[in-house]
Structure 1
Amino acid sequence: MTENSISKSEKTPWTRTRRWLCFLTLFLVIVTLVLLCYGSSLEPLHIWIYKIWSTKSYNTQQHMTTNGSTSPAQPSTSEYFVAYPHQYHFILDEPDRCQQESPFLVLMIPVAPHNREARDVIRKTWCRETRVLGRVISHYFLLGRSKEGHGLEKQVLQESQENHDILQSDFLDTYNNLTIKTMVMFEWLSNHCPNTLYAMKIDSDMFLNVHKLVDMLLKAPQHLYMTGMLAQGALVLRDHNSKWFLPYSAFPESTYPPYALGLGYVFSLDLPKKIVEASAHVKAIYIEDVYVGLCMRHLNIALTNPPNGGLFKAIMQKETRCYWTSVITTILGSPKQLLDVWGAYQTQVQGGC
């Protein structure tokens, strides 16, 4: 057999198929060994999906060092904690609106100051629904202080005067300060919404089905209640290269207590004050949803599983005919995608889904 004929025979479809079968077999063997070694301690897939998505708006500016590297040197233990409790103040506020409206549900949407596009699209989609199933719904965008200076501050002020839905506090708005942002949210709700039953913390890159959410809440407990996509037995990451790395000196346990993933969770309005009070006894780590779980554990309050495991989705795995009317949340990629999805959702509603 000549060299040329050997080369041709190696490129036959059967040879390529055998190679792929060998690769597939090797992959399956490796996966099986990993599962046998770690068993149920592996962190659930939906938690990893959320972690990947949750930093995309902040990664570049938050993790760049002076030489342009995205892998900074390991900081001291104190770098894994944030400045909370602390006396933060609101630069922009709507101090009377929540009490005047007495909503059934308040939607709290953390968003970066510069992300005007996301806020405008949300106002045109799921925040347009101010009365659902006979219940009043309110929304607020929660911002911190920007590094971008006076020009952006003027734009945000004008936006606030036009829409009356912006709450801006004086902490620096970065990914590592999301715990501060979340706790400021709890403070504000505790102080300003005495007649409200529920609130939801919902990220700005989410699809939200408010009708499905209200329908669920009409049958939900009204006290000591928190639900969403729950993480059970999530591993504490000890890899120094991970953005969610915590050293033993900062958190000695190997797994986190149960917590609701920060992409979107719902809670009764008796919880914010209790969580703020618990924060005086639980040192504030920078992973915001885990920290809320730590406060809930300190309070000895269990989280509640949603009535249907498919209500809170990280990503859409397969779009069925009535998908958007059957879920409460799904992560999206952009404000443009939210506009497209909102159109599909309305079509499904009109089609009898």
Structure 2
Amino acid sequence: MGKCCKCNRRLLCMCLLPCMMTGHLLVYVMVSIFVTISYTPPKINVHYIAPGISSNSSALASHPLGPFWNLRLEDSALWNQLQHAWDRQHNPILRGNTTGVTGKPRVKLLSEIEEECLSDCMSHKCSVPRMDDINSLPEQMRAFIRSMHCREYPLLINQPDICKRNNISFGLEGPMLLMAIKSQVGNFENRQAIRETWGRSGLVKGESNKKGLLVYTVFLLGRQDSSTGPHPDLKNLLDLENQKYGDILQWDFRDTFFNLTLKDLLFWNWLEEYCPTAIFVFKGDDDVFVRTGALLDYLHKQWEEHNLWKAYTNETSMNLFVGDVINNAMPNREPSTKYYIPERFYKGVYPSYAGGGGVVYTVSLALRLKEMSEKVRLFPIDDVYLGMCLHRLGISPSHHPGFLTFDLPATHRNNPCSYSSVLLVHRRTPKQMLTLWKQIQNLSQC
């Protein structure tokens, strides 16, 4: 009898066990559904309208608000229309389609019509791209739209051998770092202060690594913009400066704020032809201050780590891009600012990008950016355009807290020890550069 009861209990347990497991599963599913339905994702607000605070601010949203590269055509925005046409043209699936779905010859793409006008870039006779209400836009935007299809301008001053100087005597193939500084014809004082301080060419020692590394500096110039008013003729002075220092690169285009993007494109072309053996490029403005020794220490460490891992990963190229990274930026819609981008020209958010005061990237990446730029329409804000090209390459810019493109707090600017963790700081006059350069030589005592 006892054995029979035990068997019945065991049989009952075996029958009830699946029911209990099913019940538990049902409860788990119901709870999960309830949590999912009741969950409200956190609202992400826009904290930044370009230009403004950088990504190291705790108030800044850390995730993109929406996709930068929108596949849906924005009919009312000129840049989006032009880029959409190029995206279709460079799409390998659509590129071979010479007829529409109905078998009729397809309509000529806007980008193809635009190509017919490239020969008129210098004379500005080309009327493409067209915009109905272009006359209602600020002059700098009108000028950009009229010439945004032009990408080739002749070199007025070149330095074809700058990256070959002293290489043999130093036993090096090329420089460790090429400083490419965006300047203007009249900024003689800025260029001279840079030459005497952080932009010296030659063997430069790091702060912790005392081994000398080869550094060369070039200044990127367009021609004086006559539309901003009468300017004294500084050509002879510029020629004398170039004869003495041999570090000027000048192209025949108007040197305006919206044409800074051209300096990137034209510099990449020059880099590929005349200095492909350099390892890193620093691209910055002529009013920044750089702790060159500390920057070289950082880059030398990055390069050594890359070479160490290269043997294991077979990754020959290094895609380093470092600066003060800005996320979730929206175009500035205030017409009174120089950063103004009207909705009629561009719709959408900006990709992650590094503030244009100064960035560092590898030459191998620069050459990839050059290739990608041929598929990305020119944009009037140069650092945003760099972010667009990086986005298309699938590369994210790396944030470094030492790149202070929005300066130190006012209470710390006059304290030399405040610069002990800084690689770059923006907005310094030539006099301030000279003073600060002397002060940071004793940072080891801080």
In structure 1, what is the equivalent of residue 423 of structure 2? 328
Alignment CA distance shift 1:340-1:323 (3 Å): same
Deviation at 1:219, TM superposition (A): 2.3
CA distance in 2, matches of 1:323, 1:112: 30
Amino acid aligned to 2:158: D
CA contact (8 A) 1:42 1:235 kept: no
TM-aligned CA deviation for residue 274 of structure 1: 1.8
Instruction: Select which of 229, 232, 237 maps to 2:332.
Output: 237
Superposed counterparts of 1:49-128, under 5 Å? 73-75=136-138, 79=143, 81=145, 82-100=147-165, 101=167, 102-128=174-200
Stretch of structure 1 that moved more, 129-138 or 177-186:
129-138
CA contact (8 A) 1:332 1:338 kept: no
Conservation of the 8 A alpha-carbon contact between 1:311 and 1:326: no
- In the alignment, which of 334, 346, 369 is matched to residue 275 of structure 1? 369
Partner in structure 2 of residue 303 of structure 1: 397
Across the aligned residues of Structure 1 and Structure 2, the Cα RMSD in angstroms comes to 2.6
How far, CA to CA, are the matches of 2:214 and 2:200 in structure 1? Answer: 12
Larger Rg: 2
Native 8 Å contact 2:200 2:216 kept in 1? no
Q: Which amino acid aligns with 1:175?
A: F
Deviation at 1:126, TM superposition (A): 0.9
Q: Which residue does the alignment assign to 1:339?
A: 434
| Counterpart position of 1:43 | 48
Shift of the 149–89 alpha-carbon distance from structure 1 to 2, 3 Å rule, reads farther
TM (norm. structure 2) is 0.60
Query: 2: CA distance between counterparts of 1:250 and 1:305?
Result: 29
Q: Distance in 1 between matches of 2:377 and 2:280?
A: 26
Measured after TM superposition, the shift of residue 85 of structure 1 is: 4.9
Would you say the 8 A contact 2:416–2:440 is kept in 1?
A: no
1:140 to 2:234 alignment: no
Q: Distance between the aligned counterparts of 1:313 and 1:283, measured in 2?
A: 26
Separation of aligned partners in 1, 2:235 and 2:330: 39
Structure 1 counterpart of 2:115: none
Residue equivalent to 1:27: none
Q: What is the CA distance between 1:300 and its match in structure 2?
A: 1.6
Could you tell me the TM-score, scaled by structure 1's length? Answer: 0.75
**Structure 1 segments unaligned to the other structure (5+ residues):** 1-37, 51-71
* Paired position in structure 2 for 1:287: 381
In the aligned structure 2, how far is the partner of 1:188 from the partner of 1:314? 30
What displacement does 1:325 show? 3.3
Residues 297-347 of structure 1: per-residue CA shift (max 9 Å, x gap):
1222221232xx24445212124552233211112342111112112212x
Task: State the alpha-carbon separation in 1 of the partners of residues 184 and 148 from structure 2.
Answer: 19
Aligned equivalent of 2:256: 174
Q: 1:44 to 1:175 in 2, by over 3 A?
A: closer
Q: Which residue does 1:7 correspond to in 2? A: none
- Secondary structure at the counterpart of residue 167 of structure 1: strand
CA distance in 1, matches of 2:360, 2:403: 12
Following TM superposition, by how much is the alpha carbon of 1:87 offset from its aligned partner in structure 2, in angstroms?
1.8
Measure, in 2, the Cα distance between the counterparts of 1:237 and 1:206: 23
How far, CA to CA, are the matches of 2:270 and 2:232 in structure 1?
Answer: 25
Q: Does the 8 Å contact 1:85/1:279 carry over to 2?
A: no
Secondary structure at the counterpart of residue 322 of structure 1: helix
Aligned-partner SS, 1:86: coil
Q: Is the CA contact (8 Å cut-off) linking 2:416 and 2:439 kept in structure 1?
A: no
Q: Per-residue deviation at 1:84? A: 5.0
Which of 317, 321, 327 does residue 226 from structure 1 map onto? 321
Query: In structure 1, what is the equivalent of residue 343 of structure 2?
Result: 248
Residue 190, structure 1, aligned to residue 272, structure 2: yes
* Shift in Å, 1:230: 0.6
Kindly indicate whether residue 314 of structure 2 is the aligned counterpart of residue 314 of structure 1. Answer: no
Identity %: 29
8 Å CA contact 2:289–2:428 kept in 1: the answer is no
**1:104-127, Cα deviation, whole Å (9 max, x unpaired):** 000001111011111111111112
1:31-89 CA deviation, whole Å, 9 max, x = no partner?
A: xxxxxxx96411179x4269xxxxxxxxxxxxxxxxxxxxx952497655453552211
Contact 2:416 2:436 (8 Å CA) reproduced: no
Q: Which runs of 5+ in 2 are unaligned?
A: 1-42, 55-134, 168-173, 206-210, 307-316
Runs of 4+ with deviation above 4 angstroms: 75-82
Aligned residues of 2:324 and 2:404 also touching (Cα < 8 A): yes
Q: Take 1:114 and 1:231, find their aligned partners in 2: how far apart are those partners?
A: 30
- Report the count of equivalent residues: 289
